[in-house]
Structure 1
Amino acid sequence: MHHNSPILIEGATVVFGDRLQSASIRIEEGRITDIDGVRDGAAVIDGRGHLLGPAFVDVHGDAFERQLMPRPGTMLPVAPALLETDRQLAANGIATAFHALTLSWEPGLRSVDNGRTVVSSLDMLASRLMVDNRVQLRWETFCFEAIDLIRDALSGPRRPSIAFNDHTSMLLLDPSVSLQERPFDLDPNFPALDPGSPVFADKMAERAKRAKLPVSDMIAMARAMWERRPQVLAAINEVSALGEAAGAPMLSHDDSQIETRDFYRARGARLCEFPMNRRVARAARDAGDFIVFGAPNATRGGSHLASIGAADMIREGLCDILASDYYYPAMLLGLARLKADGMGSLQDLWPLVSGNPARASGLHDRGTIRVGSRADLILVEWPEGDVPVVRRTWVAGREAYRAIAAGH
């Protein structure tokens, strides 16, 4: 339900597409209906001393997994975990979230069964959620049993995205080859470890702990999946065709070769998510793809995987979108770090977390402050030289979050 009475946010410094400017923003029936118009009976919200920007659109966030499994192997009920995640999203200014829901052959947290529970729970909870919760079907290309779930989710009420992942090949990769420079995953000469080697057993230990299985069982599962490698191409073709038919945004994840990016682009994946080297990022840019990096990368000043830095990519024109990845506050904190480091003006940086991800996701009704757009807005307290914090969040004109500091 939207507000029946209009709201007017007055006195804030507004992040427009080309400038920062003090303005009043009128909201009615979930949309922005006027800028600098008359009050005309609207409920007035004092925005003085604050920044008013488009709320964030997050194309890839997996921090929700910490609500589902706060300790390795310890699963909690899905519904309260998603409700808690929704509160965190609203508090961090994220009005649209694509939860990176890994669909893997591994049991437990990232299993297809758990994925189906998350998708169905989001549907059942929809009327109680504060923000637009969607899923990124983060599909492991060896997980053939996920295809029915992908088909079902694509026909649901909130169109998901599809991300093509091949962590199975990465898992089997010979350690003498870096992840950042590994060959195309379907290369017949892919440098794979022997699944029976002690090195592979060491690599599987953490996954076994997460799945609450003996390491030997995890190794047996991995070996069985690797033997099905000849079936992967047909599965990818099937899933990409489903995505294209549904008009779903599609991404490829951790591309290390131009050949990989070309392969997925040819199947409709026009988002290059976390490319692992400049060569791939430049090829994506030349082809007109959207390029995604992690906002925590920007916040920290570098990747936790020793890959390329988001700030460097922004400087070189090779980054269009920042995603929360594993830390929701990084959407705002990443902007703050980039601004402090002189990477651009706030109005130039803000589209990385709003307008660009909205366009890339086919959500053309949000991500900017203009008459007619959906009223997804955040009011930010940002003292000069200090840490910014979200004080209010509106989602389609509804107040989804409000926090009043002790000093007020």
Structure 2
Amino acid sequence: MNRFLLTHATVVLSDQVCSDLAILVQGETIAAIDPDGTAGAVEIDLSGRMLMPGLVDLHCDALEKEVEPRPGVHFPLDLACAQADKRNAAAGITTVFHALSFANHELGVRNNAFASDIARAIHAWQAHALIDNRVHARYEVTDETASPYLSALLGEGVVHLLSFMDHSPGQGQFRDVEAYRNYLAKTYKTGEAALDDILQRKAESARGALSRMEALAAAARDRGVAIASHDDDSPSKIAAVDALGAVISEFPINLETAAAARAQGLATLFGAPNVLRGKSQSGNMRALDAVLAGVADCLCGDYSPAALLPSVMRLPELAGISLPAAIALVTRNPARAAGLADRGEIAAGNRADLIAVRQCAGLPQVERVWSAGRPALSAHFAPA
């Protein structure tokens, strides 16, 4: 059985940062913190590094770009999954929920059949993966054709998180038609006629959305799959998704809505790129303002896995919170929100998802990664 002792690191625990603490790993789990007996354990010296839990990313759609790096240019799905797996490990992410959009009125990889193929490819690649790769199925609720695809994936056990999103202009992320047209035009490089067709079909398909959501939510709950809501824009929207069994509010667009979500018991999720850039790409609330107001529970990679670690390492200075509190936004909190009680915290008995980080010219770099006690990445950076 795999048995090793991580020594001389600065260790980020749930409530404190400890210098020169030893962590014993046995098999897939953390066996002990500062153990008395370590006979037979291989020592790994982490002097100069910070040891923290592996990051948990509940929402990242970067895999879609691995599959389709340019509009209409598609790579083999196993290659795309392998590349995303390695990129996430290099970013210190040990559990990732690949966000796949089921939005047939849109184009490219967001076609329902194509998105289903990608979901199954993720599931198949997991047998060879470095880290824990999961599927976050994002259902565009104005799409009347997606339900059979999602029901099938839920039945196969391929989906691990289901979210409801509504990108109809006039609410949520896109509060006017022109903003949504610009988004589609830039994303899909398509013409005015195609954009008009997408908008018209979305409006027509809005009828019946609630019944489709209720049926999918029931199927998710039956299988123990966590439910999220996307771009919530009001306390009334929070009440509606809470009735469906949602436990996560992704990217609430204002403080009032984020506060309502937390009051209702939903975990709030914001984008780490928003922290690094200091603003939202769609002009909504800054993630930093949510942290400052105490209404942010989790951060996610959104479209950039590499943004997670540097964003939280900056938060103690930007937001005046402790390093353990900042790290919890990308470890313990998202793990708990998704119902994963076995990870996200360095504690005896937990899954041994761990990362060793070195500061290089002021930038945190991941040097070592262990996923369920198994080495997933080894690199070396010159000291700062």
Does TM, normalized by the shorter one, top 0.5? Answer: yes
2-structure distance, mates of 1:63, 1:224 = 27
Give the secondary-structure state (helix, strand or coil) at the position aligned to 1:325.
coil
* Alignment match, 1:9: 6
2-structure distance, mates of 1:251, 1:397 = 30
Matching residue's letter, 1:315: L
Give the secondary-structure state (helix, strand or coil) at the position aligned to 2:253.
coil
Instruction: Work out whether residues 204 and 219 of structure 1, in 8 Å CA contact, stay in contact via their aligned partners in 2.
Output: no
CA 1:112/1:86 → structure 2, altered by over 3 Å: closer, same or farther? same
Give the secondary-structure state (helix, strand or coil) at the position aligned to 1:291.
strand
2-structure distance, mates of 1:204, 1:342 = 34
Within-5 A mapping of 1:17-28: 17-21=14-18, 22-28=20-26
Deviations 1:25-58 (A, max 9, x none): 1111100011112321111111111100000010
* Alignment match, 1:107: 107
1-structure distance, mates of 2:334, 2:50 = 21
Instruction: Work out whether residues 103 and 139 of structure 2, in 8 Å CA contact, stay in contact via their aligned partners in 1.
Output: yes
2-structure distance, mates of 1:142, 1:87 = 34
2-structure distance, mates of 1:393, 1:94 = 9
Within-5 A mapping of 1:184-199: none
CA 1:381/1:373 → structure 2, altered by over 3 Å: closer, same or farther? same
2-structure distance, mates of 1:338, 1:207 = 31
Instruction: Work out whether residues 55 and 331 of structure 2, in 8 Å CA contact, stay in contact via their aligned partners in 1.
Output: yes
Quick check: 1:322 aligned with 2:299? yes
Instruction: Work out whether residues 207 and 218 of structure 1, in 8 Å CA contact, stay in contact via their aligned partners in 2.
Output: no
Give the secondary-structure state (helix, strand or coil) at the position aligned to 2:305.
coil
1-structure distance, mates of 2:139, 2:92 = 27
Q: Which one is further off, 108-117 or 86-95?
A: 108-117
2-structure distance, mates of 1:20, 1:49 = 14
Shift of 1:301: 2.2
Instruction: Work out whether residues 181 and 256 of structure 1, in 8 Å CA contact, stay in contact via their aligned partners in 2.
Output: no
Instruction: Work out whether residues 255 and 261 of structure 1, in 8 Å CA contact, stay in contact via their aligned partners in 2.
Output: yes
Instruction: Work out whether residues 208 and 215 of structure 1, in 8 Å CA contact, stay in contact via their aligned partners in 2.
Output: no
* Alignment match, 1:151: 151
* Alignment match, 2:52: 53
Deviations 1:357-393 (A, max 9, x none): 000000000000011000000000026x711111011
Quick check: 1:393 aligned with 2:369? yes
1-structure distance, mates of 2:121, 2:179 = 39
What's the TM-score, normalizing by structure 1?
0.87
1-structure distance, mates of 2:186, 2:274 = 24
2-structure distance, mates of 1:347, 1:263 = 33
Matching residue's letter, 1:138: R
Shift of 1:201: 7.1
Shift of 1:150: 1.6
Matching residue's letter, 1:19: Q
Q: Which one is further off, 335-344 or 110-119?
A: 335-344
Q: Which one is further off, 360-369 or 339-348?
A: 339-348
* Alignment match, 2:42: 43
Deviations 1:48-87 (A, max 9, x none): 1110000001000011222112123322222101110000
* Alignment match, 2:316: 339
Instruction: Work out whether residues 180 and 277 of structure 1, in 8 Å CA contact, stay in contact via their aligned partners in 2.
Output: no
Shift of 1:215: 4.3
2-structure distance, mates of 1:200, 1:280 = 21
CA 1:257/1:118 → structure 2, altered by over 3 Å: closer, same or farther? same
Within-5 A mapping of 1:191-270: 205-206=185-186, 209=189, 215-270=192-247
2-structure distance, mates of 1:279, 1:199 = 23
Matching residue's letter, 1:124: A
CA 1:233/1:93 → structure 2, altered by over 3 Å: closer, same or farther? same
Shift of 1:203: 6.7
Deviations 1:287-323 (A, max 9, x none): 1210111111112222222211112211211000000
Within-5 A mapping of 1:249-398: 249-382=226-359, 386-398=362-374
Instruction: Work out whether residues 51 and 381 of structure 1, in 8 Å CA contact, stay in contact via their aligned partners in 2.
Output: yes
What's the TM-score, normalizing by structure 2?
0.93
2-structure distance, mates of 1:200, 1:347 = 38
Matching residue's letter, 1:33: A
Instruction: Work out whether residues 343 and 353 of structure 2, in 8 Å CA contact, stay in contact via their aligned partners in 1.
Output: yes
How many residues are paired up? Answer: 381
CA 1:334/1:392 → structure 2, altered by over 3 Å: closer, same or farther? same
CA 1:393/1:221 → structure 2, altered by over 3 Å: closer, same or farther? same
Shift of 1:88: 0.3
Matching residue's letter, 1:10: T
CA 1:370/1:267 → structure 2, altered by over 3 Å: closer, same or farther? same
1-structure distance, mates of 2:67, 2:257 = 34
In structure 2, runs of 5+ residues without a counterpart are none
CA 1:120/1:201 → structure 2, altered by over 3 Å: closer, same or farther? closer
Deviations 1:270-290 (A, max 9, x none): 211100011111111221210
Instruction: Work out whether residues 141 and 164 of structure 1, in 8 Å CA contact, stay in contact via their aligned partners in 2.
Output: yes
Give the secondary-structure state (helix, strand or coil) at the position aligned to 1:32.
strand
Matching residue's letter, 1:89: N
Identical-pair percentage = 34
1-structure distance, mates of 2:72, 2:316 = 39
Within-5 A mapping of 1:133-152: 133-152=133-152
Q: Which one is further off, 281-290 or 337-346?
A: 337-346
1-structure distance, mates of 2:183, 2:306 = 31
* Alignment match, 1:72: 71
Deviations 1:84-143 (A, max 9, x none): 000000011101001110001123211111111111111221211111111111110022
Instruction: Work out whether residues 290 and 320 of structure 1, in 8 Å CA contact, stay in contact via their aligned partners in 2.
Output: yes
Q: Highest CA radius of gyration, 1 or 2?
A: 1
